Amino acid sequence: MVWSLVFGIIGAVVGLVGMAVGLISAVRNKKIDDKTEGKEGGIILTELGYIKAGVDDMKRDTREFRAEIQEIHDRVVRNEESCKQAHKRIDSLQKFHQPN
């Protein structure tokens, strides 16, 4: 009977030690997991920052291109008007130089 009590106590102690080791391992693993998740989250945020900066650069370039295209459009319109006026002057000069 004494031996069964000793083995029962040893079993209980081993069980409690096992539970303690399990809890310590769980806490340690949670800390490691949290640290890993934090690093991954930081990497993702950094990459998102780079992507955002790239998109902002593209938006700025697009605005500049639009401004340049508008300037070229305005110049083409002025040149077309100038050509139209020049053709009118040429047509009026041709009337004077055509043989009758």
Indicate the average pLDDT of the chain.
87
Note the pLDDT of residue 100. 60
Is pLDDT at 10 greater than 70 in this prediction? yes
Note the pLDDT of residue 99. 67
Burial state string for 25-34 with b = 16 or more CB within 10 A and e = fewer than 16: eeeeeeeeee
CA–CA separation, 19 and 27 (whole Å):
12
